[in-house]
């Protein structure tokens, strides 16, 4: 077939173009681009792609750069290999030019590139007779047909060999865990049974290596070797002891149900004789955490492990939503739709709260006003005297009782003995003693008290 393109011989800009016109995002490295084009080339041959997805200007810039490479190759007295790469690049340019659809503004630039392409092609054809390589005919402007490249898959197992040899068995660790791990590794890396058996001397160490040297003439496959390993290095009562561990392995506080069931499945798989499904389910129902009890009790009959997993996962998702629940935000001055905001008002609670708030404010206001020592008001005078008595008796060890919880109750205070544990009628003091009820001065009454007369401001007449 005429004008085939060997994609793996192209450089990075040309590979990016070939990957892009086949509808895939180009990789960042040449190695990634070659992997992409190796898959896309056979699926989308060059002759089947009739139009480019690039702009005309971008396409012509790429063509111009590729023509410069062809010019450089032809000027360097090329050998056979260089001529083959140049031929491949000319085939690539031929398909690329045929896909460009120009308009009046881009036609002059296209004509320049096309003329240069034809000139370089003619020059290349003139040099082919002196080269040792046999080249194909020069491309024409007619419809072209290309063939898909031949993809050669090269597999290197050096990395797999190095990683496989890191898995060691010395005869002292769990033999079943070792067999399970190495089987999974070989399945993932597609390592054959015979290849795995050939690595045995590098896998076994210590006592296990001595054992293998003794029995290697008796086995021909890795399966036979694994059977002997379990017989010679496995514990005789392994299933019995592992069964006890399985029945005592409850779910941890921080383990979700998915992780716990996966761990239990791994334990079940280590048994030589698999347990029936109903017995596994019974063990799991006994060993999961008690917090699932209410959910499982309200559910229908649980007949398999998948049903158990789904019910427990549903419980965990509900608990997660409950933990993340937040009360609705209150209405603020910045709320855009205040009529839809949550108010949360309660008439009874609001009334009681407002009543208590008013009472506390009135008491605080009365206390602050009485502190101003205005003797014209009896209530203020009483509070001032009360404060004065307390200030003069800081060392008094008598306990001051708290106000009653009823808002309308009047505080207890005895003006005779200056104590707030009882009122005047309940006072046990000698009633023959005379006190000033305002300041507590002994021997005088309030109107005749010299202290209160001095503190009383003189009234001014206008």
Question: Which residues on neighbouring strands pair with residue 342, listed in sequence order?
Answer: 330
* Predicted pLDDT of residue 259: 93
**Residue 424 is part of a domain; what is its CATH number?**
4.10.60
Looking at the domain assignment, is residue 402 inside a domain? Answer: no
**Domain match, 90 and 189 both:** no
Tell me what the mean pLDDT of segment 218-228 comes to.
Answer: 89
pLDDT at 279: 92
Q: Are residues 219 and 287 in the same domain?
A: no
Interatomic CA distance for residues 350 and 344, integer angstroms = 10
Cα separation, 412 vs 382, whole angstroms: 12
User: What does the pLDDT average to over 273-282?
Assistant: 90
- Find the farthest-apart pair of alpha carbons in the chain and give their distance in angstroms, rounded: 148
Q: What is the pLDDT of residue 88?
A: 86
Domain assignment of residue 332, yes or no: no
Q: Is the pLDDT of residue 257 over 90?
A: yes
Domain range enclosing 284: 238-321
- 346 pLDDT band, cuts 50/70/90, is low
User: Is it the case that residue 388 has pLDDT exceeding 60?
Assistant: no
Return the percentage of the chain with pLDDT > 70, whole number.
77
Q: Do 247 and 216 reside in the same domain of the chain?
A: no
Q: Is residue 189 part of a domain?
A: yes
Tell me whether residue 375 is in a domain.
no
Are 166 and 252 contained in the same domain? Answer: no
For 172-221, write each residue's pLDDT tens digit.
Answer: 888 889 998 988 888 888 888 888 888 888 899 999 999 999 998 888 88
Asked if 202 and 257 sit in the same domain, the reply is: no
Burial class (CB in 10 A: 0-12, 13-18, 19+), 365: exposed
Q: Give domain status of residue 67, yes or no.
A: yes
Q: Are residues 209 and 310 in the same domain?
A: no
**Statement to judge: residues 177 and 284 lie in one domain:** no
Alpha carbons 407 and 360: distance in angstroms, whole number? 9
Q: Give 58-114 pLDDT, tens digit per residue.
A: 888 888 888 888 888 888 877 788 888 888 888 888 888 888 888 888 888 888 888
Residues 396-423, mean pLDDT to the nearest whole number: 62
Is the domain of 175 the same as that of 251? no
In the predicted structure, residue 403 carries a pLDDT above the cut 50: no
243 in the same domain as 289: yes
Comparing CA positions, the residue from 102, 108, 113 lying closest to residue 67 is 113
Last residue of a domain, one of 233, 258, 282: 233
**Per-residue pLDDT reduced to its tens digit, 122-158:** 888 888 766 544 444 444 443 334 444 444 444 445 5
pLDDT for position 22:
85
pLDDT at site 244: 93
Position 443 in a domain: yes
How many whole angstroms separate alpha carbon 112 and alpha carbon 114?
A: 6
| Residue for token pair 């060392």 | 395
pLDDT at 129 (0 to 100) = 60
- The band of 456, judged by pLDDT with boundaries at 50, 70 and 90, is low
What's the confidence (pLDDT) of residue 198? 87
Total structural domains within the chain: 4
In a domain, 334, yes or no: no
**Does one domain contain both 14 and 126?**
yes
Question: Which of 271, 301, 321 finishes a domain?
Answer: 321
Angle, alpha carbons 144-149-154 (nearest 5°): 175
Asked whether residue 191 is assigned to any structural domain, the reply reads: yes
* Better pLDDT: 407 or 326: 326
Task: Mark whether 94 and 168 lie in a shared domain.
Answer: no
Q: Write the CATH number for 306.
A: 1.10.1200
Position 374 scores a pLDDT of 45
Taken in order 155, 157, 158, 160, the sign of the CA dihedral is positive
Last residue of a domain, one of 260, 294, 321: 321
Q: State the average pLDDT for the chain.
A: 78
**Angle in degrees, 0-180, between the axes of helices 277-287 and 305-323, rounded to the nearest 10:** 20
pTM (whole model) above 0.75: no
Asked whether residue 17 falls in the same domain as residue 116, the answer is yes
Asked if pLDDT for residue 363 goes beyond 80, the answer is no
3-state secondary structure of 330: strand
């Amino acid at each position: 077939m005429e004008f085939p393109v060997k994609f793996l011989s192209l450089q990075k800009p040309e590979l990016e173009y070939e990957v892009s016109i086949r509808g895939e995002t180009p990789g960042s490295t040449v190695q990634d681009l070659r992997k992409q084009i190796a898959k896309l080339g056979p699926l989308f041959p060059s002759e089947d792609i009739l139009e480019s997805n690039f702009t005309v200007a971008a396409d012509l810039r790429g063509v111009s750069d590729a023509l410069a490479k062809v010019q450089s190759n032809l000027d360097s007295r090329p050998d056979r290999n260089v001529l083959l790469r140049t031929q491949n690049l000319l085939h690539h340019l031929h398909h690329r030019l045929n896909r460009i659809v120009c308009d009046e503004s881009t036609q002059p630039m296209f004509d320049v590139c096309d003329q240069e392409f034809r000139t370089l092609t003619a020059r290349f054809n003139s040099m082919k007779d002196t080269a040792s390589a046999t080249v194909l005919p020069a491309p024409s402007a007619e419809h072209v047909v290309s063939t898909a490249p031949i993809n050669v898959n090269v597999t290197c197992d050096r990395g797999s060999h190095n990683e496989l040899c890191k898995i060691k068995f010395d005869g002292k660790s769990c033999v079943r865990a070792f067999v399970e791990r190495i089987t999974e590794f070989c399945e993932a890396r597609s390592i054959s049974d015979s290849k795995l058996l050939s690595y045995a001397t590098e896998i076994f160490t210590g006592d296990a290596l001595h054992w293998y040297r003794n029995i290697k003439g008796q086995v021909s496959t890795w399966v036979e070797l694994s059977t002997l390993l379990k017989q010679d290095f496995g514990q005789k009562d392994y299933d019995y002891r592992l069964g006890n561990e399985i029945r005592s392995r409850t779910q941890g506080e921080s383990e979700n149900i998915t992780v716990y069931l996966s761990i239990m499945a791994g334990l079940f798989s280590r048994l030589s004789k698999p347990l029936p499904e109903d017995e596994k389910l019974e063990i799991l129902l006994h060993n999961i955490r008690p917090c699932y009890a209410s959910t499982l009790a309200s559910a229908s009959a649980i007949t398999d492990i998948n049903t158990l997993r789904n019910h427990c996962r549903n419980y965990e998702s509900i608990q997660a939503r409950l933990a993340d629940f937040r009360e609705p935000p209150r209405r603020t001055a910045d709320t855009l739709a205040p009529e839809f905001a949550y108010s949360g008002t309660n008439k009874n609670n609001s009334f009681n709260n407002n009543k208590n708030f008013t009472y506390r404010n009135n008491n605080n206001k009365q206390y602050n006003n009485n502190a101003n020592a205005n003797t014209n008001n009896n209530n203020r005078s009483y509070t001032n005297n009360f404060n004065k008595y307390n200030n003069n008796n800081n060392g008094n060890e008598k306990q001051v009782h708290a106000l009653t919880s009823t808002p309308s109750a009047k505080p207890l205070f005895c003006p005779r003995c200056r104590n707030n544990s009882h009122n005047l009628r309940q006072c046990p003091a000698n009633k023959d003693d005379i006190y000033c009820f305002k300041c507590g001065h002994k021997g005088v009454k309030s109107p005749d008290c010299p202290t209160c007369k001095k503190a009383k401001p003189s009234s001014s007449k206008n």
